[in-house]
Amino acid sequence: MNVSRRAIVLTPLALLGCAYALNLVHSPTVAGQAGLGFWAFIIVLWLAAAVALSGLSNLRPKNLNMRRLAGLCVPILFGAFLFFLWEVIVVGAGVPSVLMPAPSAIGGRFVASLPVLLADFLQTFVKSVLSGYVIGCLAGFLVAIIADRIPFLRRGLLPLGNFVSALPVIGIAPIMVMWFGFDWPSKAAVVVVMTFFPMLVNTVAGLAAAGRLEHDLMHSYAAGYWTTLVKLRLPVALPFIFNALKINSTLALIGAIVAEFFGTPIVGMGFRISIEVSRMSLDMVWAEIALAAIAGSIFYGLVALVERGATFWHPSYRT
């Protein structure tokens, strides 16, 4: 009880202190020339936040919803505090923005250059990533079905697929740029190759996941190959397939961005990153990275949501 009371008292206090410090650090007398007293204040805040967080993470509310809320609060507060430290240290110590811009500067730049970011997003994410992702995953899925039908092909392809997944596939980017030109098709091609093998390997593994008893049941229903595939083996394979979709959602974005380092038209997230880095305007680079992070997380989250809906029967979702 003692711990939780301490947390409940300390958390608002620490939040207030952080707000005060944020206000203080941006005042012209402190920014860039913060004195010893200010840093001592920050260290005290740090300790208070640590104690408050450890108290919060030890809370065990009886109510299920309250527990879920506490489980959500801890990481969010932790992340917010990291951003707070970043902001305070960068602004307070006057770190030049060519080294490390403050989060507020990045946020300002993000809002100010929304049209540019939107154009980059459309070029990289909507055109390259989405088209490559769909084609690559579909191709991997279809080849996996064929390979599953022909055991010889499966035994030949599976070790190769596992082997390729350890290779730096990203290196094909310059070749694809040479074949498909500077615009988005070359990036989509890189994404296709990168997403193909995880999908192939996972789907083949998933198709082998149905148990013998289930197979016998289908057999006793006189179900043919296709009925067994659609009614038994594909549903059983779904968790594996979604696993591949989730892995690929990150891989696809990485593939498209890195492929743009090898040559692009004058739009795209990877292009913007490499150009703005060489112009030393790091706030724009960070804004672009923030965009990539948001896009990547939402993409991943959407896939995870669909997975929840499609594989609701799976033990990991039943509570």
Partner 1 sequence: MTTKALSLPVRRASGKTSRLGEGNTGPVLVVVLAILAFWYVAAILMNWQGVADAFIRAGEQRSTSEIVLATMDQERPMLPAPHQVLVELKKTVIDTAVTSRRSLLFHAWVTLSSTLLGFALGALLGSVLAVLIVHVKTLERSLMPWIISSQTIPILAIAPIIIVVLGSIGITGLFPKAIISAYLCFFPITISMVKGLTSPDPMQRDLMRTYSASLAQTFWKLRLPASLPYLFTGLKVAIAISLVGAIVGELPTGAQAGLGARLLAGSYYGQTIQIWAALFGAAILASLLVAIVSIAERIVNRSMGARSA
Q: In sequence order, which residues have a C-beta less than 8 Å from that of residue 165 and are 6 or more positions away?
A: 197, 198, 201
Which of residues 26 and 303 has its CB atom nearest to partner 1 in the complex? 303
Which of residues 9 and 153 has its CB atom nearest to partner 1 in the complex? 153
Using CA atoms, how far apart are residues 50 and 71, in angstroms rounded to an integer? Answer: 16
Which of residues 155 and 231 has its CB atom nearest to partner 1 in the complex? 155
Which of residues 23 and 58 has its CB atom nearest to partner 1 in the complex? 58
Interior angle at CA 59, CA 57 and CA 62, nearest 5: 140
Residue 251 one-letter amino acid = L
Using CA atoms, how far apart are residues 84 and 121, in angstroms rounded to an integer? Answer: 28
Which of residues 40 and 69 has its CB atom nearest to partner 1 in the complex? 69
Which of residues 234 and 275 has its CB atom nearest to partner 1 in the complex? 275
CB contact at 8 A, 220 and 187:
no
Please identify which residue in 1, 36, 64, 213 interacts with partner 1, judged by CB under 8 A.
Answer: 213
- 276-306: b (≥16 Cβ within 10 Å) or e: beeeebbbbbbbbebbbeebbeebbeebeee
**Minimum Å distance from CB 278 to partner 1?**
8
Q: Under the criterion CB under 8 A, does residue 175 sit at the interface with partner 1?
A: yes
Q: Under the criterion CB under 8 A, does residue 30 sit at the interface with partner 1?
A: no
Please identify which residue in 10, 15, 77, 245 interacts with partner 1, judged by CB under 8 A.
Answer: 77
Joined together, the tokens standing for residue 140 give 């991997």
- Centre a 10 Å sphere on the Cβ of residue 115 and count the other Cβ atoms it contains: 8
Q: Under the criterion CB under 8 A, does residue 174 sit at the interface with partner 1?
A: yes
Q: Pick out residues in 142-161 that bind partner 1 (CB under 8 A).
A: 152-160
**Minimum Å distance from CB 297 to partner 1?**
5
Using CA atoms, how far apart are residues 95 and 30, in angstroms rounded to an integer? Answer: 13
Kindly calculate the radius of gyration of the chain based on its CA atoms and give it in whole angstroms: 25
Q: Pick out residues in 227-266 that bind partner 1 (CB under 8 A).
A: 249-250, 253-254, 257-258, 261-263
Q: Under the criterion CB under 8 A, does residue 136 sit at the interface with partner 1?
A: no
Please identify which residue in 177, 191, 237, 284 interacts with partner 1, judged by CB under 8 A.
Answer: 177
Q: Phi/psi zone of residue 32: left (φ > 0), alpha (ψ -120 to 50 degrees), beta?
A: left
Q: What share of the chain is helix, strand, coil (3-state, %, to 5)?
A: 80, 0, 20
**Minimum Å distance from CB 157 to partner 1?**
6
Q: Under the criterion CB under 8 A, does residue 6 sit at the interface with partner 1?
A: no
Please identify which residue in 143, 201, 232, 285 interacts with partner 1, judged by CB under 8 A.
Answer: 285
Q: How far is CA 182 from the centre of its chain?
A: 26
Q: Pick out residues in 84-113 that bind partner 1 (CB under 8 A).
A: 98-100
**Sign of the CA dihedral running 275, 279, 280, 283:** negative
Q: Which residues bind partner 1 (CB under 8 A)?
A: 50, 53-54, 57-58, 71, 74-75, 77-79, 98-100, 152-160, 163, 165-168, 170-175, 177-179, 212-213, 215-216, 219, 249-250, 253-254, 257-258, 261-263, 269-270, 273-274, 277-278, 280, 282, 285-286, 288-289, 292-293, 296-297, 299-301
